[in-house]
């Protein structure tokens, strides 16, 4: 494990010096305020703008009738950059509630807001389709319409095996729409200097945003720079381009003045993406001794009319446990909604809720401990393709977490534990998340006195990216940590992948490590001029490395001052591009074009790579008020080498709380008649507050995995919040005898 | 804690302001509204700049701003003190929390005009001579943040929480820190930080 050093950016964050996008100083900015649609489907007949234009300080009001023309961008999954192909301000058509229909620009925020509220809109509204079961939706298999959903995993003969199974379970589950709600609003500031555009926007992918906006504006991508050294939470919401950015950029160009947009919290619910609502049917067949003989997972997800977005979590749920007969199907339901997008552990949160709940139901059916049921079916190979897991510590996690939690004290009968008015239940579930990596570049500069500068367009969304990158460079170069400066969040820096899919640490630290080794190599070569011609010849033809190369790639320490003296220079600087094994041939080109080529998970050639964990929870249900509390969350996790146990622990702790939230709190409520969100603010969209979270325990298991990447790192940012929802419902069953299959669990769902 | 009406030194009249603001929000500018404008003090037309002096972190700052400007926007957009954050602009998230005469307030729900004559303390005003405030140090020591966006509000709230006498137990800290949302969910570490800093802050 790495060192638990405090965050690199800690001082900046506790003093208010950390500058987020809307904190960036602008020279004489104009302020933009959005007007969004009050209907979900139909068209705009007419705007009345006179009243709005009379507001003192109004500079411009843009609607589809006079908006700057922008080129379309394709969906990120189809070779584009956008999270939605619904491009506002292009026509009078309305595709979803809260679509941007006008932008007011004024001298002050207050004037822009007032004028926006004075814009009057006449619509011809049509009846929208809101969600599952709404009239007018269409449903079709994901395969064939979503280019990233390649296969419905299958193996053996499910129907026959299920038919013949000694014990059978069929159950349906549902998860709600959720919104990321990072605390930083979805702000965008755009400033032009001549032909050059600078965008200040919280982004999880500065190179993607840069290229996407350039494409929409029809300008050279090198004219666009995206800057955001700190991002106020991402959770997936800032991974792909939203329409607002190019609109504000084009308006700033037209106005020849910087424009600052600070959308409201409620606008954030409709101008970005969300986690779509899902439905699942699980069929499990098992022998009496608990061995799975048949597994089928059918999932359905809601998307927008034009975009076939889906998360398709069956790729994971069909591979988690040994089972010879597996079938699956994912469908997409199209409704009059904005296109959904990734939200923290996009496939795993809804799909493992279904599988891990069903396993608990099966354990009850079999009268078996749910931990033992998982042990019996623990896999060392992917049951679909037969590839071995690079490492898999699922049961070790179960054992550690069970011990810390006191699982052995549990009496399995429902309603068997109580404390005064409170019924107490224990539950558990597995978590897993694929290990993903993407091509990344980095530049490292080392001075004779050890001062080091690392440049990489990674993203600090709260993960500790600055910290682990600084630690990697300090360790490889053998310089004190406080001498390392890290520069990130700027598309003028060497490209790094999207901060998504928990790939950042593995990708960026691998790139930084490789470039540091290039520096070491130069310095060792200076120190070891005795490498013979034969060594060099052998190295050239790839037979064996020269001693200096060997030293650079090993752990041998380096006398930097001596090496600099030998080299006769004051600064050594190296740039390099790293890609994971199995990355496609076009990886580096795509990386520079702002396109993501993540590899890993089940898509590796000869192996399959996942991080695992086990989560145990205690719930208390009040027998009179039915209030549900979750006083204890315990998780044990194994994710390869932990770069910094301090930041890792925090992320997993936050993840566990997210998991609790997805079970008990979070849902975006939809008015099904109007296909509109009802609770689009932080008082009505429930997120956990401090009083909701009494006890969280994170256990980090050490795990060595030299098959995934040079550092042996698996991503863990999205590991903590998976399975928790199932663990909580399993605990509610234990407390009350009632099985809840639809999230979030509300008081009214509990019948006592 | 009760308001301190005596502490407002400006000629600002909340009632006159509310009448003007409500008028501008609800009815178009008509002859009637215009004639009311003529009779009333300048604050009646909210889009005309008003002069205000804000005492921020011990220094008086004179501003000419829209009367509807909140303390938060005055700090961020006019005084370039961007440490206080806008997370909802509705008093729901706590990211904008500042101290007003040592009382924690939501700066997004407080008009700049209403803060005149009171001492505003922001996150930028806590450290002295590069020495961090004990609460800032405690947040670092306990890794009490991730993305950091809610952190200025959490720290301001935490200082007030201690001074209010609400840091006596972990349960108290959790309850009295629940007005500040941390979406990264660093809550257990925030509780640990408040616990760590409380004795030093109480010592003064």
Sheet containing A695-701: give its strands across.
A417-419, A422-434, A610-622, A628-638, A695-701
pLDDT bracket for residue B12 (50, 70, 90): very low
d(C-alpha A471, C-alpha A476), whole Å: 9
- Measure B177 CA to nearest chain A CA, in Å: 6
Nearest CA in chain A to B69: A110
d(CA A314, CA A380): 18
Give me the mean pLDDT over the A406-427 stretch: 97
Q: What residue ranges of chain A are covered by domains with CATH 3.30.365.10?
A: 389-435+609-752, 438-594
In the predicted structure, residue B23 carries a pLDDT above the cut 70: no
Q: Which residue's structure tokens are 């969906």?
A: A75
Whether A382 contacts A351, CB under 8 Å? no
Residues B132 and B204 in one domain: yes
Q: Are residues B55 and B120 in the same domain?
A: yes
Report chain B residues whose CB lies below 8 A from the CB of A15: 83, 123-124, 126-127, 132, 136
Is some CB atom of chain B closer than 8 A to the CB atom of A224?
A: no
Our CA dihedral for A68, A74, A75, A77, rounded to 10 degrees, sits at -150
CA distance B87 to A197: 26
Point out the domain boundary residue: B125, B156, B175.
Answer: B125
Does A231 touch chain B if contact means CB atoms closer than 8 Å?
yes
Distance from CA of A61 to the nearest CA of B (A): 18
The answer to whether the Cβ–Cβ distance between A15 and B83 falls below 8 Å is yes
Question: Is the domain of B146 the same as that of B97?
Answer: no
Is A681 near chain B, with CB under 8 Å?
A: yes
Checking if the pLDDT of B7 tops 70, the result is no
Average pLDDT of every residue of chain A = 97
Pick the last residue of a domain from B81, B104, B125: B125
Report CB contact under 8 Å: A233, B183: yes
Q: Which of residues 640-669 of A touch B (CB under 8 A)?
A: 646-647, 649-651, 653-655, 657-658, 661
Is the pLDDT assigned to residue B17 strictly greater than 80?
no
B99 token code pair: 């101290």
CA distance B86 to B109: 11
CA distance A482 to A542: 37
pLDDT at B13 over 70: no
Q: What is the pLDDT of residues A448-467, one digit of tens each?
A: 999 999 999 999 999 999 99
Q: Is residue B98 part of a domain?
A: yes
A178 contact B CB<8A: no
Per-residue pLDDT tens over the stretch A25-64 = 999 999 999 999 999 999 999 999 999 999 999 999 999 9
Mutate one of A690, A717, A718, A724 to test the B interface: name it (highest B CB count within 10 A): A690
CATH code of the domain in which B202 resides = 1.10.150.120
Residue B148: list chain A partners with CB under 8 A.
9, 12-13, 18, 230, 232, 462
Is B9 within a domain? no
B3 is a domain residue: no
A chain contacts of residue B26, beta-carbon cutoff 8 Å: none
CATH architecture of the region A438-594: 2-Layer Sandwich (3.30)
Say if residue B121 is in the same domain as residue B136.
no
Tell me: the pLDDT tens digits for A109-121?
Answer: 999 999 999 999 9
Say if A3 is an interface residue toward chain B (CB within 8 Å).
Answer: no
Q: Chain B residue closest to A233 (CA)?
A: B147
Q: How far apart are CA A44 and CA A37, in angstroms?
A: 9
DSSP, residue by residue, A658-709 = HHHHHHHT----EETTTTEES--STTTS----GGG--EEEEEEEP---SSS-
Q: Which residues 380-439 of A have a C-beta within 8 angstroms of B?
A: none
Smallest Cα distance from A683 to chain B, Å: 6
* B97 contacts: CB under 8 Å, gap ≥ 6: B84, B104, B105, B106, B107, B152, B153, B154, B156, B157, B179, B180
Q: Is the pLDDT of residue A349 over 90?
A: yes
- Cβ distance A689 to B24 less than 8 Å, yes or no, reads no
CA distance A19 to chain B (A): 8
Is the CB of residue A301 less than 8 Å away from at least one CB of chain B?
no
* Interchain CB distance below 8 Å, A108 and B152: no
Q: Which two tokens stand for residue A92?
A: 């009078």
Kindly determine whether residue B139 and residue A25, on different chains, have CB atoms separated by under 8 Å: no
The structure tokens listed for A264 are 């409201």
CB atoms A689 and B185 under 8 Å: no
What total number of domains does chain B contain? Answer: 2
Nearest CA in chain B to A24: B82
Mean pLDDT (whole number) for A405-413: 96
Judged by a CB distance cut-off of 8 A, whether residue A679 touches chain B is no
Q: Is residue B14 part of a domain?
A: no
Domain at A11-128+180-269, CATH from 3.90.1170.50, 3.90.480.20, 3.90.110.10, 3.40.50.300: 3.90.1170.50
Q: Closest Cα of chain B to A120: distance in Å?
A: 12
Q: CATH number, domain at B118?
A: 3.10.20.30
By the CB < 8 Å criterion, does A27 face chain B? Answer: no
Q: Is the domain of B121 the same as that of B99?
A: yes
Find out whether the peptide bond into A259 is cis, omega within 30 degrees of 0: no
| Facing B47 at nearest CB: one of A55, A658, A687 | A55
Residues B120 and B147 in one domain: no
Sheet holding A138-141, edge to edge: A138-141, A326-334, A292-303, A278-286, A167-175
Q: Does A148 touch chain B (CB under 8 A)?
A: no
| Pairing verdict, β B97-100 and B49-56 | unpaired
Spatial CA neighbour of A744 closest among A655, A657, A663: A663
Whether residue B146 and residue A109 make contact (CB cut-off 8 A), yes or no, is no
Please tell me which residue of chain A has the smallest CA distance to B189.
Answer: A650
Residue B190 in any domain: the answer is yes
Q: Is B136 in contact with A14 (Cβ distance < 8 A)?
A: yes
Considering only the beta carbons, identify the residue of A51, A233, A690 that sits closest to B178: A690
Question: Which residues in B lie closer than 8 A to residue A111 (C-beta atoms)?
Answer: 47, 66
DSSP A89-148: TSSSEE-STT-EEEEEEESSHHHHHHHHHH-EEEEEE-PPP-STT-TT-EEEESTTT-TT
pLDDT greater than 60 at residue B27:
no
User: Is A550 a residue whose pLDDT tops 90?
Assistant: no
Nearest to A14 among B48, B132, B191 (CB): B132
Q: Among A223-237, A360-374, A521-535, A625-639, where is mean pLDDT lowest?
A: A521-535
Q: Nearest-CA residue of chain B relative to A13?
A: B148
- From the CA of B85, how many Å to the nearest CA of chain A? 8
How many other CB atoms are there within 10 angstroms of residue B123's CB atom?
A: 28
CB contact under 8 A, A654 and B184: yes
Mean pLDDT value across residues A204-224: 98
pLDDT in tens, A279-313: 999 999 999 999 999 999 999 999 999 999 999 99
- Assign domain A389-435+609-752 to a CATH class: alpha beta
In a domain, B103, yes or no: yes
Residues A674-721 have pLDDT tens digits of: 999 999 999 999 999 999 998 999 999 999 999 999 899 999 999 999
Active site residue A107: no
Which of A110, A471, A718, A748 is an active site residue?
A718
Task: List A residues 733-752 in contact with B (Cβ-Cβ < 8 A).
Answer: none
**What is the percent of chain A with per-residue pLDDT over 70, rounded to a whole number?**
100
Question: Chain B within 8 Å of A78 (Cβ-Cβ)?
Answer: no
Identity of the highest mean pLDDT range in A539-553, A556-570, A614-628: A614-628
Task: Delimit the CATH 3.90.1170.50 region(s) of chain A.
Answer: 11-128+180-269
| Residue B36 in this model has a pLDDT that exceeds 50 | no
Q: Are A693 and B185 a contacting pair at CB < 8 A?
A: yes
**What confidence score (pLDDT) does residue B46 get?**
65
pLDDT beyond 70 at A611: yes
CA distance A597 to A77: 10
Least confident of A224-228, A532-536, A573-577, A639-643: A532-536
pLDDT average, residue stretch B176-182: 98
Domain that includes residue B160, residue range:
127-204
Say how many CB pairs under 8 Å bridge A and B: 195
Say if residue B120 is in the same domain as residue B164: no
List CB contacts (< 8 A) between B48 and chain A: 56
Q: Which of B99, B125, B151 is the last residue of a domain?
A: B125
Q: A11 CB near a chain B CB, below 8 Å?
A: yes
């Amino acid at each position: 494990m790495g060192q638990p050093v405090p965050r690199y950016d800690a001082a900046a964050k506790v003093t208010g010096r950390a500058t987020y996008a809307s904190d960036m100083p602008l020279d004489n900015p104009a302020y933009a305020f959005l007007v969004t649609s009050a209907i979900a489907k139909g068209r705009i007949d007419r705007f009345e703008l006179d009243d709005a234009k009379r507001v003192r300080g109004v500079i411009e009001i843009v609607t589809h009738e006079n908006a700057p023309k922008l080129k379309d961008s394709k969906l990120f999954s189809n070779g584009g950059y956008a999270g939605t192909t619904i491009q506002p301000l292009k026509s009078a058509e309305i595709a979803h509630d809260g679509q941007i229909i006008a932008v007011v620009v004024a001298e002050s925020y207050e004037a822009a807001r007032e004028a926006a509220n004075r814009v009057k809109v006449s619509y011809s509204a049509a009846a929208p389709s809101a969600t599952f079961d709404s009239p007018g939706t269409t449903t079709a298999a994901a395969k064939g319409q979503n280019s990233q959903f390649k296969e419905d995993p299958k193996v053996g003969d499910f129907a026959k095996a299920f038919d013949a199974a000694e014990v059978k379970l069929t159950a349906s589950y549902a998860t709600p729409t959720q919104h990321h709600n990072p605390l930083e609003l979805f702000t965008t500031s755009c400033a032009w200097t001549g032909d050059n555009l600078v965008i200040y926007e919280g982004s999880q992918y500065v190179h993607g945003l840069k290229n996407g906006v350039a494409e929409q504006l029809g300008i050279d991508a090198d004219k666009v720079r995206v800057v955001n050294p700190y991002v106020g939470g991402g959770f997936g919401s800032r991974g792909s381009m939203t329409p607002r950015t190019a609109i504000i950029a084009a308006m700033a160009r037209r106005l020849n003045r910087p424009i600052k947009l600070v959308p409201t919290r409620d606008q954030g619910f409709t101008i970005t993406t969300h986690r779509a609502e899902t439905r699942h049917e699980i069929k499990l067949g098992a022998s009496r001794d608990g061995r799975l003989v048949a597994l089928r997972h059918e999932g359905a997800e809601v998307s927008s009319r034009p975009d076939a977005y889906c998360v398709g979590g069956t790729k994971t749920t069909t591979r988690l446990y040994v089972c010879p007969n597996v079938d699956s199907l994912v469908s997409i339901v199209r409704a009059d909604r904005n296109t959904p997008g990734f939200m923290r552990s996009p496939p795993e949160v809804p799909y493992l809720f279904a599988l891990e709940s069903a396993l608990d139901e099966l354990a009850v059916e079999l009268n078996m401990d749910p931990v033992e049921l998982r042990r019996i079916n623990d896999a060392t190979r992917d049951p679909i393709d037969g590839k071995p897991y690079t490492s898999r510590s699922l049961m070790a996690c179960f054992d550690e977490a069970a011990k810390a939690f006191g699982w052995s004290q549990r009496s399995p009968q429902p309603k068997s534990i109580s404390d005064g008015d409170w019924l107490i239940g224990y539950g558990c579930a597995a978590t897993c998340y694929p290990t993903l990596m993407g091509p990344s570049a980095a530049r490292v500069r080392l001075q004779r006195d050890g001062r080091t500068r690392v440049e990489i367009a990674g993203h600090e969304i709260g993960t500790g990216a600055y910290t682990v990158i600084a630690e990697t460079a300090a360790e490889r170069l053998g310089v004190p940590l406080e001498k390392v400066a890290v520069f990130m969040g700027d598309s003028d820096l060497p490209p790094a992948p999207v901060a998504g899919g928990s790939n950042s640490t593995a990708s960026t630290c691998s790139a930084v490590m490789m470039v540091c080794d290039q520096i070491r190599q130069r310095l060792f070569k200076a120190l070891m001029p005795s490498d013979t011609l034969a060594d060099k010849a052998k190295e050239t033809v790839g037979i064996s490395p020269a001693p200096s190369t060997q030293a650079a790639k090993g752990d041998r320490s380096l006398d930097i001052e001596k090496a600099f003296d030998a080299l006769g220079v004051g600064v050594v600087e190296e740039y390099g591009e790293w890609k994971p094994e199995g990355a496609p041939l076009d990886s580096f080109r795509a990386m520079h074009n702002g396109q993501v080529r993540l590899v890993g998970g089940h898509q590796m050639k000869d192996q399959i790579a996942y991080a695992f964990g086990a989560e145990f929870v205690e719930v208390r249900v009040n027998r009179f008020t039915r209030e549900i509390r979750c006083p204890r969350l315990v998780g044990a996790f194994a994710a390869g080498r932990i770069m910094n146990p301090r930041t890792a622990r925090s992320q997993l702790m936050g993840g566990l709380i997210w998991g609790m939230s997805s079970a008990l709190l979070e849902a975006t409520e939809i008015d099904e008649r109007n296909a509109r969100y009802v609770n689009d603010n932080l008082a009505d969209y429930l997120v956990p507050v401090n009083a909701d979270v009494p006890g969280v325990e994170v256990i980090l298991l050490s795990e060595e995995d030299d098959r995934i990447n040079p550092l042996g790192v698996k991503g863990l940012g999205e590991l903590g919040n998976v399975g928790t929802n199932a663990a909580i419902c399993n605990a509610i069953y234990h407390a009350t005898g009632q099985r809840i299959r639809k999230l979030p669990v509300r008081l009214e769902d509990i019948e006592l | 804690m009760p308001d301190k009406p005596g502490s407002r030194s400006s000629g600002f009249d909340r009632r006159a302001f509310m009448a003007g603001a409500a008028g501008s929000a609800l009815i178009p500018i008509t002859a009637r509204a215009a004639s009311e404008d003529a009779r009333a003090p300048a604050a009646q037309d909210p889009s005309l700049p008003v002069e205000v002096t804000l005492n921020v972190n011990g220094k008086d700052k004179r501003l000419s701003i829209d009367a509807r400007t909140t303390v938060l926007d005055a700090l961020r957009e006019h005084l370039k003190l961007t440490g206080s954050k806008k997370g909802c602009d509705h008093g729901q998230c706590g990211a904008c929390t500042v101290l007003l005469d040592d009382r924690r307030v939501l700066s997004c729900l407080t008009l700049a005009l209403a803060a005149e004559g009171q001492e505003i303390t922001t996150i930028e005003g806590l450290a002295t001579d590069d020495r961090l405030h004990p609460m800032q140090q405690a947040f670092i020591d306990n890794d009490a943040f991730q993305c950091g966006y809610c952190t200025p509000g959490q720290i301001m709230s935490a200082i007030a929480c201690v001074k209010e006498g609400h840091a006596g137990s972990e349960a108290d800290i959790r309850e009295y820190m629940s007005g500040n949302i941390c979406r990264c969910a660093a809550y257990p570490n925030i509780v640990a930080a408040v616990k760590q800093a409380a004795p030093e802050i109480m010592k003064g």
